[in-house]
Amino acid sequence: MIITKKQITWTVIATLAFYVAGRLLYEPFYRLTLSLITTFSGGNIKFFGKFPFWFIGDPLFGLVSAAIPISFLLDFLILPRNMKLNIRATVLLYAIFLTVFYLAVCYYESFYLVARNDFYNGQPIMENLREVDLNIVLLCSIILTTIVIGVINSVKRLTAKRLPTT
C-alpha cells in the first residue's frame, strides 16, 4: 500500500468538501432520516421538537461525514496495484453499500423506537426528534460500509495474487 501525493491531496479536498456539505446539509439529512424512520415504522411514530442545529449544522456531523472519503481511501488502498484504475467501480460499490446500510440503520432505529414502547395499542407513538442521533446513524453506516468494502477488496487482492498474469 503506497499512498501518493495525489491521493493525499484528493482525499484532503474531498474530506473538506464532505465536512462543509455535512454542516450545510445537516437539517435536510435529519429530515430525511426522520421521514425514513416514520415510513419504516408504518407511520406509527410522530416526531416533535426543534432541530438541534438548524442553520450551520452540527460540527460533529460534519466530522462524521468527513470520515467518508478517509474510509474510502483506506478501502481503496487494499486493492492490488493492477486494479487501482478501477476507481469508478469502487466508488459505485461504496455508494451502494453506504446507501443500503444507511437504510438498514434507519430501519433498525424505527424498529427500536416502536419496540421499546410497552403500551403500544395502535396509536401513534410521539417521540422527541432528539431521540434519533443522526451522528450515530451515519457513523454506523460508514463503519459497516468500510468493513464490507474492505473485505471485498481484500478478497480481490488475494484472488489477484493467485491468478497468472498474461
Partner residues linked to 126 by β-bridges: 46
Domain count, the chain: 1
**Residue 113: its pLDDT value, please?**
84
CB 134 within 8 A of CB 30: yes
Which domain does 83 fall in, by range?
Answer: 5-162
Q: State the average pLDDT for the chain.
A: 84
**Residue 76: its pLDDT value, please?**
83
- The pTM for the full model equals 0.84
pLDDT, tens digit, for every residue of 86-144? 778 888 889 999 999 999 999 999 888 887 776 666 677 888 888 888 889 999 999 99
d(C-alpha 129, C-alpha 159), whole Å: 46
Q: How confident is the model at residue 78 (pLDDT cuts 50, 70, 90)?
A: confident
